[in-house]
Amino acid sequence: MGPMVEIHNVSEPGTGKTALFGFIGVPAKSRWTISEAVLKGLCRQQLVRLFGQDAAEPEAEYIKDWATDLFTATEFDLLQEAGHAMPEPVPAKGEWSQEMTGIASEWSPQFSGYLAGAIASASTGVQRWLQQN
């Protein structure tokens, strides 16, 4: 039901505080149709559904909207649906076939758009380069 599509425990051990972090799975231009206060309320309701009434009164809550960061999101990014890009296909034929290895996250068949995809693609690229040289 959302609006958060992933929720992670980011509590610092030993602090006695519980901290949760979630990604809101609604495209930027849709979530901008409601106020931040309403959006926070919807997130809180979701946490109450998941964790019970204790979650209704957090000590603090923040929304960080990367879509408004000039150096993070472009106009084109705002047109994208929520979620991650499909991995780039490696050219199967033609003169670039077997000549290119994508080492960015978006080339990862398993984890496109994640840090894990960046590591996997870079590892594959380095291994391939070492084999060829």
Binding-site ranges for ligand FAD (CB under 6 A): 66, 72, 104-105, 113-118
Taking the complex as a whole, the smallest distance from the CB of residue 114 to ligand FAD amounts, in Å, to: 4
Shortest spacing between CB 63 and ligand FAD, in angstroms: 13
Which CB, 20 or 48, lies closer to ligand FAD? 20
Tell me the three state secondary structure of residue 45.
Answer: helix
Q: Give whichever of 72 and 98 is closer to ligand FAD, judged by the CB atom.
A: 72
Length of the chain: 133
Q: Six-digit token pair at 15?
A: 């602090």
Other Cβ atoms within 10 Å of 28 Cβ, number: 17
Question: What are the start-end ranges of the H helices in the chain?
Answer: 28-31, 36-51, 75-79, 115-132
In the complex with ligand FAD, the residue whose CB is nearer, 26 or 118, is 118
Q: What is the C-alpha separation between 56 and 48, in angstroms, rounded?
A: 6
- What is the closest distance, in whole angstroms, from the C-beta atom of residue 37 to ligand FAD in the complex? 22
Cα separation, 88 vs 107, in Å, equals: 5
Least CB distance from residue 53 to ligand FAD, whole Å? Answer: 28
Nearer to ligand FAD, 56 or 126 (CB): 126
Which tokens is 85 given? 């890009």
